Amino acid sequence: MIRTILAFIAILLIVAVIGFFALGPGMVENGQNQVVRPDTPYAPSEAAIALHEDLFVADLHADTLLWARSAARRSDRGHVDLPRMREGGMALQVFSAVTLSPSGLNYDSNTPDSDDLVLLTFAQRWPPATWNSPYARALHQAVRLSQLASQETDFALIRTRSDLQTLLDRRARGENVMGGVLAIEGLHAMEGEMANLDGLEAAGYRIMGLQHFFDNRLGGSLHGTGQGGLTEFGREVVAEMEARSIIVDVAHSSSATVEDVLDMTSRPILVSHTGFAGNCETARNISDDLMTRIAEAGGLIGVGYWDAAVCDISAAGVAAAIAYGVELVGADHVALGSDFDGAVTTSFDASQLAALTDALLAEGLSEDDIARVMGGNIRDFLLENLPID
Ligand SMILES: [Zn+2]
């Protein structure tokens, strides 16, 4: 009898372990990255579809690399993979690495004392070094994107201006090739070591967000506890980034940090995924005045598709937020910054971006302005600000 019970418990344990590794990560993603589609499916007009086909469509922020699936194959989880990018007419996606995620994430106050990624990286059987090291997690996600680019002939990793020019030339010849740029969410991934900037740069990171959800050694986060500006170390890192043509992203930085960055930089900066406070006043969005300063310095602002960024996740709601931004800072300074696969709920995925072109037409934007915000600005920004080669 006891042997039967022990055998039963052993089987239960084996089933639980298999379930943890085989099903756990997918279940986590299903809970985090949702698409809540409207009751009446999006049906873009013929004019919108025709315009969309002519656009260079690009996006400044997706967290796809964190999840337990290959972006090479179409998935019914999350928002982005290569087949859905192709269906959505995309030419380029910035893939951002998340490297630490405190429990109970919120937009008001977080500390890095807890970390939900320990279990996720373990369950996904990432290399042991990644289980507790943000730096190792960043390197691993860079490898994942590099492997994707080496396996897929129609997807290229973009590290330099000449890489991007090659992508544009191939597309001009009619090749349906897409590009990916590596970005990082928060330089806590440097683990306080300037030498790790070399490692991240060598791994292919060309856009670096200074903070994520908590204050770090570089300075204050918008969702940390201190709302401080750049530290001395932060200033050193930003100066190094400028010298190396690494693009600064302030998407999660405190207002004080953004001001300090603007005061010390001469190159334009990004706010890769955000909304405009004047359109949607939440703790996620910095002030319109600061957005205006960023644009005046040549910066580019990516508008997200989730509730705390735009307050209305319908395609019309996202288009209204974009139109607000165009009115505030000009069409040359607004772009797409979906936050796809970033633990957000959206009303469409990457395959349905023609619905956004349709909504922008309905919003009254000119075709030229739509071409700029749907990706033309990202193309031009990267052509000017990536390292030359
Ligand atoms: Zn983010």
The Å distance, Cα 46 to ligand 1 centre, comes to 34
The Å distance, Cα 33 to ligand 1 centre, comes to 13
Whole-number pLDDT of residue 378: 98
Q: Which residues of 50-59 are buried (b: 16+ CB within 10 A; e: fewer)?
A: ebbeebbbbb
The Å distance, Cα 340 to ligand 1 centre, comes to 10
The Å distance, Cα 59 to ligand 1 centre, comes to 13
Task: Report the C-alpha gap between 194 and 251 in whole angstroms.
Answer: 22
Q: Which residues of 315-353 are buried (b: 16+ CB within 10 A; e: fewer)?
A: bbbbbbbbbbbbebbebbbbbbbbbbbbbbebbbbbbbb
The Å distance, Cα 16 to ligand 1 centre, comes to 32
Q: Using alpha carbons, list the distances in angstroms from residue 56 to 114, 164, 190, 304, 335.
A: 40, 12, 33, 18, 12
Q: Which two tokens stand for residue 251?
A: 């998407």
Task: Report the C-alpha gap between 121 and 66 in whole angstroms.
Answer: 9
The Å distance, Cα 185 to ligand 1 centre, comes to 6
The Å distance, Cα 272 to ligand 1 centre, comes to 8
Q: Would you kindly state where each structural domain of the chain is located, as residue ranges?
A: 1-32, 45-385
The Å distance, Cα 273 to ligand 1 centre, comes to 7
The Å distance, Cα 251 to ligand 1 centre, comes to 7
In the chain, which residues have pLDDT < 50? none
The Å distance, Cα 202 to ligand 1 centre, comes to 23
The Å distance, Cα 103 to ligand 1 centre, comes to 15
The CATH number of the domain covering residues in 45-385: 3.20.20.140
The Å distance, Cα 256 to ligand 1 centre, comes to 18
What value does the mean pLDDT of the chain take? 94
The Å distance, Cα 184 to ligand 1 centre, comes to 9
Q: Which two tokens stand for residue 199?
A: 């490692």
Task: Report the C-alpha gap between 320 and 317 in whole angstroms.
Answer: 5
The Å distance, Cα 212 to ligand 1 centre, comes to 7
The Å distance, Cα 11 to ligand 1 centre, comes to 40
Backbone angles phi, psi at 178, to 5 degrees: -120, 160
What one-letter code names the amino acid at 114?
S
Closest Cα partner for 121 from 132, 113, 131? 131
Which residue's entry shows tokens 């001395």?
A: 232
Q: Which two tokens stand for residue 133?
A: 């090291």
- Confidence (pTM): 0.94
Q: Using alpha carbons, list the distances in angstroms from residue 295 to 27, 93, 271, 330, 386.
A: 40, 21, 10, 8, 18
Which stretches within the chain are classed as H helix?
A: 2-22, 24-32, 46-54, 82-87, 117-123, 134-151, 161-172, 195-202, 232-243, 255-264, 288-296, 307-310, 315-329, 354-362, 367-371, 377-385
The Å distance, Cα 241 to ligand 1 centre, comes to 20
The Å distance, Cα 172 to ligand 1 centre, comes to 32
